[in-house]
């Protein structure tokens, strides 16, 4: 079993990574939680595959379990679903001494984490991420949130889990599209911080070879993220590097109402675009965008921008909290593995988007 301890302001918490860990979840939870009641929040897809497995393991250790199943999909990261979850927690008489488990991808993790942070002013929670994206990113670092009709993650807070249990075997039931989606974030870690990881990803011959190594890959990504969030828990500096490709990526997701492209696909296009812009402005070593393009093609991820209205994208980007005057803060890479926060004039972004659309 791989383990990483994250030092956080409210106390440290562990991340455990082990193939087959879900089957042992009861005994693992018993080591860190002395109460009896456990509320599990999951979605309709994950429930079909793993709901019973989690519950039977918890029951075998004597826990009293309560399951809350929300609809699969981004719509569940809403206040409507949150109210339903609070309601069920009340029905089950969950109180401050009990624990909530988020069993699912990013939507379930973020929404359940926010429910845990706010219900009765805060209840402990555990993350069991079931998608690659959630295993390498959203379950780690304590960002929890729900969406508003006007945008994603607009209401949330930092609330660290008691522990994160990652079972890479759970990825076996993910479709190729969702594995690629998560690979977008894995590639991001290599691009911003770890040249060795990036070039290793270039070498894998096929998806079987990647899956064989996936526990190691997840461990590498979580270790990088752990280091970053330990140094900058509240995203005032270094943590922003994790947003490489995300500013343009979010704008693309939003432009298509989150229907056309997955998060990893949108971030992939964003990583290529900002690297190309960085090269044109002399901020990025020439040839880096072509290396990014090669790896995205290898992992079936898109790199060219789709047909978009430049004004709409700029409007979304300029609402982004990272803007200062006519300049916008972007995460750039100087070369593979070396990232920095750079200021780019809005006009330069407009030029690039107009050339492409």
Query: Measured from the CB atom, is 113 or 141 closer to ligand GLY?
Result: 141
DSSP three-state, residue 282 = coil
Given a contact cutoff of 8 angstroms between Cβ atoms, the answer to whether 20 and 53 are in contact is no
CB 144, min distance to ligand GLY, A = 10
Choose, by CB under 6 A, the member of 67, 77, 88, 143 that binds ligand GLY. 143
Pick the closer one to ligand GLY by CB: 77 or 239.
239
Closest CA to 300 of 191, 204, 195: 204
Cα–Cα distance measured from residue 207 to residue 73, given in angstroms and rounded to the nearest whole number? 25
Query: What 3-state DSSP class applies to 12?
Result: coil
Q: Does residue number 233 form part of the binding site for ligand GLY (CB under 6 A)?
A: no
Per the CB < 8 A criterion, the answer to whether 145 and 110 are in contact is: yes
- Residue 245 is a binding residue for ligand GLY (CB under 6 A): no
Q: Give min distance, CB of 185 to ligand GLY, in A.
A: 8
Decide if residue 144 touches ligand GLY (CB under 6 A): no
| Residue of 113, 141, 156, 302 interacting with ligand GLY (CB under 6 A) | 141
Q: Are 175 and 51 in contact (CB under 8 A)?
A: no
Query: By CB neighbour count within 10 A (0-12 exposed, 13-18 middle, 19+ buried), where does 322 fall?
Result: middle
Q: Which is nearer to ligand GLY, 249 or 342 (CB)?
A: 249
Pick the closest to residue 188 from 241, 254, 146 (CA basis): 241
Give the interface segment with ligand GLY, choosing from 40-48, 211-219, 235-243, 250-258 (CB under 6 A).
Answer: 235-243
Size of site (CB under 6 A) for ligand GLY: 6
* Residues in CB range of 83: below 8 A, 6 or more apart: none
> Which position among 137, 147, 181, 253 is part of the footprint of ligand GLY (CB under 6 A)?
137
Among 38, 128, 163, 242, binds ligand GLY (CB under 6 A): 242
Q: Quickly list DSSP for 243-268.
A: GTTHHHHHHHHHHTTTTSS-HHHHHH
Q: Which is nearer to ligand GLY, 141 or 342 (CB)?
A: 141
- 245's tokens: 């490709």
Q: Which stretch binds ligand GLY (CB under 6 A): 41-49, 135-143, 155-163, 263-271?
A: 135-143
Span interacting with ligand GLY, options 33-41, 72-80, 113-121, 137-145, rule CB under 6 A: 137-145
Residues 189 and 142: beta-carbon distance below 8 Å: no
Residue 239 engages ligand GLY in binding (rule: CB under 6 A): yes
Tell me which residues touch ligand GLY (CB under 6 A).
137, 141, 143, 235, 239, 242
């Amino acid at each position: 079993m791989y383990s990483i301890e994250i030092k956080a302001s409210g106390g440290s918490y562990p991340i455990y990574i082990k193939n087959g860990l879900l089957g042992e979840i009861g005994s693992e939870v018993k080591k860190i939680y002395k109460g009896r009641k456990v509320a599990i929040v999951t979605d309709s897809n994950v429930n079909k595959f793993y709901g019973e497995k989690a519950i039977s393991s918890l029951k075998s250790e004597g826990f009293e379990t309560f399951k809350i199943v929300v609809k699969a999909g981004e719509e569940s990261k809403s206040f409507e679903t949150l109210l339903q979850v609070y309601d069920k927690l009340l029905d089950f008489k969950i109180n401050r001494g009990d624990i909530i488990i988020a069993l699912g991808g990013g939507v379930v993790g973020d929404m359940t984490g926010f429910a845990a942070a706010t219900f009765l002013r805060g209840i402990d929670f555990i993350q069991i991420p079931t998608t690659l994206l959630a295993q390498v990113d959203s379950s780690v670092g304590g960002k929890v949130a729900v969406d508003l009709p006007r945008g994603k993650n607009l209401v949330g807070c930092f609330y660290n889990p008691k522990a994160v249990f990652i079972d890479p075997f759970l990825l076996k039931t993910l479709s190729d599209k969702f594995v690629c989606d998560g690979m977008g974030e894995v590639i991001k870690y290599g691009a911003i911080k770890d040249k060795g990881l990036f070039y290793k990803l270039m070498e894998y011959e096929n998806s079987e070879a990647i899956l064989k190594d996936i526990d190691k890959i997840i461990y590498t990504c979580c270790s990088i993220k752990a280091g970053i969030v330990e140094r900058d828990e509240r995203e005032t500096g270094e943590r922003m590097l994790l947003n490489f490709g995300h500013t343009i990526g979010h704008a693309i997701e939003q432009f298509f109402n989150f229907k056309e492209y997955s998060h990893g696909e949108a971030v992939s296009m964003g990583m290529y675009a900002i690297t190309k812009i960085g090269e044109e402005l002399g901020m990025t070593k020439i040839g880096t965008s072509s290396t990014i393009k090669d790896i995205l093609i290898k992992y079936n991820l898109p790199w060219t921008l789709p047909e978009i209205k430049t004004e709409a994208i700029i409007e979304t980007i300029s609402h982004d909290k990272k803007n200062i005057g006519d300049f916008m803060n972007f995460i750039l890479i100087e070369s593979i593995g070396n990232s920095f926060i750079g200021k780019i004039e809005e006009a330069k972004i407009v030029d690039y988007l107009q050339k492409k659309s």
